[in-house]
């Protein structure tokens, strides 16, 4: 049996309910869990290096406050809580550019703890998995995240950014070519890149996903809801690729879609 974890990043207080419903109803109806990495207190002024606003701010307007806690969108919160197939992860705090690629321990602690508080105050269960914006960690932030979460989900881990005490296990992971590894009570999962991305060829997307799954016992498939609605228009071809993926995962006899929480509760080898 091979296991797949669906991870969608960047849900925040500005995310339209209609977008998530359009994308993930085929997953929810098939009983396939969808792990949403939620930004607890989104910065509505976050830009990418070229100065453009981040894509997940597509509902922003001139009257939008500088930050918005997830609980300020009660329609979204109620929708997510009413659909048990959605599982909540903590995705940074503001989602500032590289906000966890810093060494200020007090600031890191503040962002982690306040982010958790805002998710709990909104009514969500305590998240067990942390996702850093842009997959960027400092050595200090990795230490603090590992103290709070049993799972870290990232694209990759760099030796120079790891706590020195983690180096031996990281080297074993590299030598054995494992995708996932553990330090103490924390599982560190890697993913094979954003295979469900508007920047990839649509005609080969599903085949690439199938190949990735065949090379791992546990595969984390990462996507971003807003990429399907760039310029506030649905990308029907891309949405169809996502829904074809749902059909494939639901019908493949040797594949099971699980949540990060299922991974913790099961007896699965992290490779």
The residue extents of the domains of the chain are 2-265
Give pLDDT, residue 268: 60
Average pLDDT (131-147) is 96
Architecture of the domain whose range is 2-265: Alpha-Beta Barrel (3.20)
Give pLDDT, residue 206: 98
26-30, 96-100, 197-201, 226-230: segment of lowest average pLDDT: 96-100
Average pLDDT (128-147) is 96
Give pLDDT, residue 141: 97
pLDDT at 31 over 80: yes
17-21, 249-253, 262-266: segment of lowest average pLDDT: 262-266
52-61, 75-84, 90-99, 138-147: segment of lowest average pLDDT: 52-61
pLDDT at 63 over 80: no
Total length of the chain? 271
Top-confidence residue, 49 or 22: 22
Task: Give the Cβ contact number of residue 269 at 10 Å.
Answer: 8
Give pLDDT, residue 271: 56
CA nearest to 157, candidates 240, 169, 239: 169
Task: Round the CA-based radius of gyration of the chain to a whole number and report it.
Answer: 18
Buried b (16+ CB within 10 A) or exposed e, 32-65: bbbbbbbbbbbbbebeeeeeeebbbbbbbeeeee
Average pLDDT (219-246) is 96
Positions of E strands within the chain: 2-11, 34-38, 41-43, 67-69, 86-91, 129-131, 151-154, 181-183, 186-190, 218-224, 255-258
């Amino acid at each position: 049996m091979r296991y797949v974890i669906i991870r969608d990043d960047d849900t925040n207080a500005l995310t339209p309910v209609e977008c998530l419903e359009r994308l993930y109803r085929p997953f929810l109806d098939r009983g396939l869990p969808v792990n949403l990495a939620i930004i607890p207190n989104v910065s509505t002024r976050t830009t990418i290096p070229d100065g453009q606003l981040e894509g997940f701010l597509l509902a922003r307007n001139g009257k939008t406050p500088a930050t918005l806690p997830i609980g300020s969108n009660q329609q979204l919160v109620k929708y997510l809580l009413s659909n048990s197939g959605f599982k909540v992860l903590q995705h940074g705090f503001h989602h500032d550019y590289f906000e966890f690629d810093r060494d200020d321990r007090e600031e890191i602690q503040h962002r982690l703890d306040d982010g958790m508080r805002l998710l709990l105050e909104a009514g969500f269960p305590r998240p067990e998995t942390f996702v850093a914006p842009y997959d960027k960690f400092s050595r200090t932030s990795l230490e603090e995240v590992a103290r709070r979460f049993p799972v870290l989900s990232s694209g990759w881990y760099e030796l120079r950014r790891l706590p020195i005490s983690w180096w031996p296990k990281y080297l074993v992971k590299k030598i054995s070519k494992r995708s996932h590894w553990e330090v103490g009570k924390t599982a560190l999962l890697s993913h094979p890149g954003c295979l469900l991305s508007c920047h990839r060829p649509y005609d080969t997307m599903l085949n690439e996903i199938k190949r990735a799954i065949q090379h791992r016992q546990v595969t984390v498939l990462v996507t971003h809801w807003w990429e399907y609605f760039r310029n506030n228009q649905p990308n029907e071809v891309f949405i169809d690729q996502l829904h074809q993926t749902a059909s494939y995962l639901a019908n493949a006899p040797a594949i099971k879609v699980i949540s990060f929480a299922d991974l913790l509760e099961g007896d699965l080898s992290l490779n």
